[in-house]
Structure 1
Amino acid sequence: MATSAAAQKPTGELRVSKDSTVVPAKKTVKIDPLAPSRAAFYSAILPGLGQAYNKKYWKVPIVYGAMGTSLYFYFDNNKKYNQYRDAYKRRLAGYNDDEFQYLDNDRLISAQRFYQRNRDLSLLITAAFYILNIVDANVDAHLKQFNVSDDLSVVPDVYQTDINQMPNVGLTLNYRF
């Protein structure tokens, strides 16, 4: 704080006046360096818990919807794969009284491969959503601590080139201390 002192009386009395141009102190944000790793750990333990830790509650249903949908397709494709596999095994054993009597052996093998591929793909997508859940919680916790004050701004700018005096559009980065 800037002060000015003026001795007006010879008795040693000192007058202090406040400077009117003093900028108020900025609000500081406490940074927790362990918050991103904690959010990622929580999401790894229970999907969606890291999003709740970051107070992004609207993301929790998205996490469970994505993982639940892909798990549903995994179990559905696994059930159909087992049905076609069991029917093919029964055909090899000499029985022909299954629910797929209208299909020949080549069609049963083709159906097995189709549902096996879809089952494996559904499991891969489930794992990708699980990893994405962890990464999202980590990145969101990092961005929560990111400085978004008015001291840093990006504004569009129109300027003329020195060569042909044509207007160009660009961005200007302003940083104030």
Structure 2
Amino acid sequence: MTHILKFSCIAAFYLALTTAPAISANPAYPDNSATADTARKPGTHDVKPRSPRKAALLAIVPGLGQGYNGDFWKLPIVYAALGGSIFTVHLNALKYHDYLKAYWSFYDQSTGTPAHGITEDTEMPVRVRKPLNTKSMVKLLTKDQIVRNKDVWRRYRNVSILTSGLIYVLTIIEANVAAHLKTFDVSDDLSVRIGPGAIEVPFSAFAPGLQVVFNFK
């Protein structure tokens, strides 16, 4: 039984060696990249290469990197994202300064000490804005209420600033990655074929196996 197994392994290995050149010579999978480039399918066209470095540098000015890559449909997305984030920063900063101004009214500006006649129950007028700043009203709030709201809107302002910066950086990264992908081959010429092969087993002879060959244009 052992001799039969060895003979089968040797026969399979010999078959793999003798058939491998024939598979490689198959004209359906040309090894010469120049030949593969010239044998294009009807209706295909060359993609103009883009410089990722140049795309990233141009993207410092929002939208220019996407325009350089020819992705003009991305421009409304870029401007909407950046414009919305900047407007959010502006709106949160307005609300923060409204409460900050009311907070300072509890103190003497010249000395920084509590103003005369101010107690814990003293209420000061604060301008309270609608979510999109379409309308506003004046409310009387205590110092504790003003401090809590001031801290909330300061935190919102800081988060919106970080978000705006992140969106800006992502537009630069997107332009760089898109320039790389302009020459990435996703055509039907990508293929895979399976054929016999040999596997080297440690401390033993070669064993029959299966090889998977990917062919790229």
TM score, norm. by length of structure 1: 0.67
State the 1:29 CA deviation.
4.8
Distance in 2, Cα, partners of 1:61 & 1:125: 18
What is the aligned partner in structure 1 of residue 58 from structure 2? 42
1:142 partnered with 2:161: no
State the 1:31 CA deviation.
7.1
Contact 1:50 1:134 in 2 (8 A): yes
Distance in 2, Cα, partners of 1:59 & 1:117: 31
Distance in 1, Cα, partners of 2:176 & 2:143: 50
What is the aligned partner in structure 2 of residue 168 from structure 1? none
- Paired residue type of 2:125: D
Contact 1:152 1:173 in 2 (8 A): no
State the 1:128 CA deviation.
0.5
Distance 1:154 1:131, change over 3 A: farther
Distance in 1, Cα, partners of 2:97 & 2:216: 66
State the 1:137 CA deviation.
0.3
State the 1:89 CA deviation.
0.5
TM score, norm. by length of structure 2: 0.55
Distance in 2, Cα, partners of 1:72 & 1:64: 12
1:175 partnered with 2:202: no
In structure 2, stretches of 5+ residues that fail to align are 1-34, 109-114, 127-137, 194-211
In structure 1, stretches of 5+ residues that fail to align are 1-22, 156-171
Q: State the secondary structure of the residue aligned to 2:70.
A: coil
Distance in 1, Cα, partners of 2:79 & 2:192: 37
Q: Which has the higher contact order (CA 8 A, sep 6+)?
A: 2
What is the aligned partner in structure 2 of residue 66 from structure 1? 81
1:109 partnered with 2:151: no
Aligned ranges 1:156-175 → 2 under 5 Å: 174-175=214-215
Q: State the secondary structure of the residue aligned to 1:146.
A: coil
Q: State the secondary structure of the residue aligned to 1:81.
A: helix
What is the aligned partner in structure 1 of residue 101 from structure 2? 86
- Paired residue type of 1:116: R
Which whole-Å deviations, capped at 9, do the CAs of 1:98-120 have from their partners, x for residues lacking one?
Answer: 33652111111111110000000
Distance in 2, Cα, partners of 1:146 & 1:67: 28
Q: 1:98 aligns with which of 122, 125, 131?
A: 125
Q: Post-superposition, which runs of at least 4 consecutive aligned residues in structure 1 deviate over 3 A?
A: 26-32, 93-97
Distance in 1, Cα, partners of 2:165 & 2:81: 11
Q: 2:69 aligns with which of 21, 44, 54?
A: 54
Distance 1:146 1:119, change over 3 A: same
How many aligned positions are there?
137
Distance in 1, Cα, partners of 2:139 & 2:106: 10
